[in-house]
Structure 1
Amino acid sequence: MLFAALAGVALAPVAVAGASPADADVACDADWGTGDRDVWGGAAEGALTGVRSGQHECFDRLVLDLGAADAAGFHVGYRDELGHIAKDQVLPLRGDGVLVVLVDVPGQGYQPANPVEVVDVTGYRTFQQVRWAGSAEGQVKLGVGTPAGLPFRVTSGGGKLVVDVAHS
């Protein structure tokens, strides 16, 4: 319930009357950190049904629609490179930051129209590329290219996994 309320607020543009530029800078301080985020709880009852993204004032957002009431286990963290989930193959990814998203949810029914550009992030401040890295054994893997290892947060619930990466 809290997630749904927060998601609705985060998606709606907010204007603050009388806010100074300094206030805007303070509002964008993301004290999220760059360390790995792990929640392991087994596979979700659903499956990956979609991937989408959005731009916000202070961060870029990636949403994985899981098609289940409860989110699956996941691992999100920066790595030196993006490897395919089932092959011994390094996948090129734009950006110096390689944020890997691994989710315990079947992905066999989901096939992005363009695995190299799962979502169009042209013009985004933080996301440089979102790339499909495959699905195998009840897990899906994606890579998010960023300019550097920027702070991020992960929230889950309501059949979604949400990854927000700060602009700075």
Structure 2
Amino acid sequence: MRRWGTAIAAIVLASAGLAGTAGAAQAVGTSSAAACATAWGSLDRTDPALSGKPLENIRTGQNECYDRMVFDIKGATAADRIGYRVGYVETLNQAGTGDPIPVGGGAILEIKVGASSYDYETGKSTYPGKARQPLPGVDVSGYQTFRDTRYASSFEGETQVGLGVRARLPFRVFQSDGHLVVDVAHSWNAAS
């Protein structure tokens, strides 16, 4: 299963033109540390947009410099803004109830995506996440940075996920062709 996830992540990286940075740096003879330069920081990132489109899937992948989580938004294109709030928290508290949800790892990254886990018009589920449970179909065993995943809720147009990571590490958030991408670096010192 992890092989498929890695293969899909590689295809997404290649098709979005994101894999070129590490490859180009190594092609000109720079060190691996230079290829993994991650001046991203660990402060909260926010874009308040609500896409109005439903979440379809969440998947993960690995890179030599970071671990990646991708949120697939059904029907979203590069022209659609996908809102988010991503930041480290002491405890993951379920939106709507405030109930704490245990997440394994040395630090917890709370990710709220401006897309619900259900279709607004039909009310039917578009993503099969269950509160307090690991993300369906996602296995992060063997990852360098990721330790655990937990689905928290879909509340008021946002889907909330807890990502357990090894430690509080630098991360970045960006949108690519209708997908929201969260990368968490393997280290602070830019070495993989």
What RMSD in Å do the two structures reach over aligned CA positions? 2.7
Q: Give the CA deviation at 1:158.
A: 1.8
Q: Is the partner of 1:128 in helix, strand or coil?
A: strand
Quick check: 1:71–1:157 contact (8 Å CA) kept in 2?
A: no
Q: TM-score, normalised by structure 1?
A: 0.86
Shift of residue 117, structure 1, vs aligned partner:
2.0
Equivalent residue, structure 2, for 1:34: 42
Q: Which residue of 1 aligns with 2:95?
A: 85
In 2, the alpha carbon distance for the partners of 1:134 and 1:51 equals 14
8 A contact 2:101–2:132 mirrored in 1: no
Q: Deviations over 1:26-76 (max 9, x none)?
A: 2112110000000112x2132100000000000000000012121321100
Q: Which residue of 2 aligns with 1:47?
A: 54
Contact 1:71 1:161 in 2 (8 A): no
Report the Cα distance in structure 1 between the residues aligned to 2:131 and 2:96, rounded to whole angstroms. 18
What corresponds to 1:132 in structure 2? Answer: 151
Q: TM-score, normalised by structure 2?
A: 0.76
Residue 105 in structure 1 maps to residue 110 in structure 2: no
Unpaired runs of 5+ in structure 1? none
Residue deviations 1:85-108, cap 9 Å, x none? Answer: 222311110112110001121212
Distance 2:34 2:21 in 1: 19
Do the aligned partners of residues 71 and 115 (structure 1) sit closer, same or farther apart at CA in structure 2, a change above 3 Å counting?
farther
Aligned in 2, Cα 1:78/1:51: closer, same or farther, shift over 3 Å? same
Q: Which runs of 5+ in 2 are unaligned?
A: 1-11, 119-124, 188-192
Code of the aligned partner of 1:121? V
Q: Cα distance, 1:162 vs. partner?
A: 0.1
Tell me by how many angstroms 1:25 deviates.
1.7
Contact 2:89–2:110, Cα closer than 8 Å, also in 1:
yes
The percent identity for this pair of structures is 39
Q: Kindly state the Cα deviation for residue 147 of structure 1 after the two structures are TM-superposed.
A: 1.4
SS of equivalent to 2:146: coil
Residue 33 of structure 2 aligns with which residue? Answer: 25
Provide the aligned length of Structure 1 versus Structure 2. Answer: 163
2:133 aligned with 1:151: no
Structure 2 residue corresponding to 1:7, chosen from 4, 7, 16: 16
Aligned to 1:116: 133
Q: Which residue of 2 aligns with 1:57?
A: 64
Output the amino acid matched with 1:103.
V
CA 1:74–1:9 in structure 2 vs 1: closer, same or farther (change >3 Å)? closer
| Maintained 8 Å contact 1:58/1:167 | yes
Q: Which residue of 1 aligns with 2:104?
A: 94
